[in-house]
Amino acid sequence: MALFFLVPLCTALITGYFVKQSTDEIAYIAGVFGFICFILSLVLAPWQIQLLLLIVVLLGTNRLLSKQ
């Protein structure tokens, strides 16, 4: 399994950390960049990880909807 999808994911996590620490306007630009990197890492992730995330989202959604 290729792990090159971890590069944008780590970039997104580091950017998110800097956004939390800063209150400047550059933090908003960095936040957008981090969000794009996060989406890119999900697109580049292997199908096994994408399937696992899909199952987690579906189970989480069912549990949240059944509580109401």
Query: What is the tens place of the pLDDT at every residue in 4-46?
Result: 778 888 888 888 888 888 878 887 888 888 888 888 888 888 8
Contact status, residue 31 vs residue 23, Cβ threshold 8 Å: no
pLDDT of residue 1: 66
| Whole-structure pTM value | 0.65
DSSP for residue 24: S
Average pLDDT over residues 44-68: 85
Quick one: which of 45, 36, 35, 37 has its CA closest to 5? 45
Q: Extract the tokens encoding 47.
A: 């199908």
